[in-house]
Amino acid sequence: MESIKKTFGILWIILALLTAYFCIFEFGIPKLGTGHQEDLVFGIIILFILTPIISVGLAVFGYYALKGEYSKDKM
């Protein structure tokens, strides 16, 4: 189980990168250029608030998992 926890750390880091990609290039930047103010606010929030929290948070979580910080003896 401990090795699965560590290996899955890589998955969370990849997921963090994918989330960042989708947040920036699919949801964030396209919204900025639509000309609708509602989309502009949504895009800004996605890019500057949500992406850092979700992607950086998940990447750090993955890194800790990979380093074995969530193993039984360290909890």
Partner 1 sequence: MQTNKKSLWKVIGASSLGTLIEWYDFFIFGSLSVVLSTKFFPADNPTAAFLSTLATFAAGFVVRPFGALFFGRLGDLIGRKYTFMVTLVLMGGATFLIGITPSFESIGYFAPLIVLLLRLLQGLALGGEYGGAATYVAEHSPEGQRGYWTSWIQTTATFGLFISLVVILLTRVLLSEQQFDEWGWRIPFILSIIMVYVSYLIRKNMDESPEFAKAKSEGKTATNPLKESFGNKYNLKFVLLALFGAAMGQGVVWYTGQFYSMSFMKTVMFLDSDQADLILGIALLFGTPFFVVCGRLSDKIGRKWIMMTGMLLALLTYRPIYEAMYQITNVDRKTEITQARTENIETRSTDTGNEEVKHYRTEYTDGTKVHITSRQLHQSDGQPELVDTVPHITTKSVVTVSGSNYVLLVALIFVQILYITMVYGPIAAFLVEIFPVKIRYTSMSLPYHIGNGIFGGLLPAVSTYLASNAQSQGNQTYYLEGLWYPIIISGVCFIIGALYITKNMTANTDQK
Q: Which residues 6+ apart lie within 8 Å of 74 measured at CB? A: 68
Q: How far apart are CA 33 and CA 40, in angstroms?
A: 8
Cβ of residue 18: shortest distance to partner 1, in angstroms?
A: 11
Find the binder of partner 1 among 25, 35, 42, 73 (CB under 8 A). Answer: 42
Binding of residue 29 to partner 1 (CB under 8 A) = no
Nearest to 22 by CA among 3, 2, 50, 57: 50
Nearest to 67 by CA among 26, 59, 55: 59
Binding of residue 73 to partner 1 (CB under 8 A) = no
Quick one: 15 or 32, whose CB is closer to partner 1?
A: 15
List residues near partner 1 by CB under 8 A.
1, 4-5, 8, 12, 15, 27, 37-38, 41-42, 45, 49-50, 53-54, 57-58, 60-61, 64-65, 69-70, 72, 75
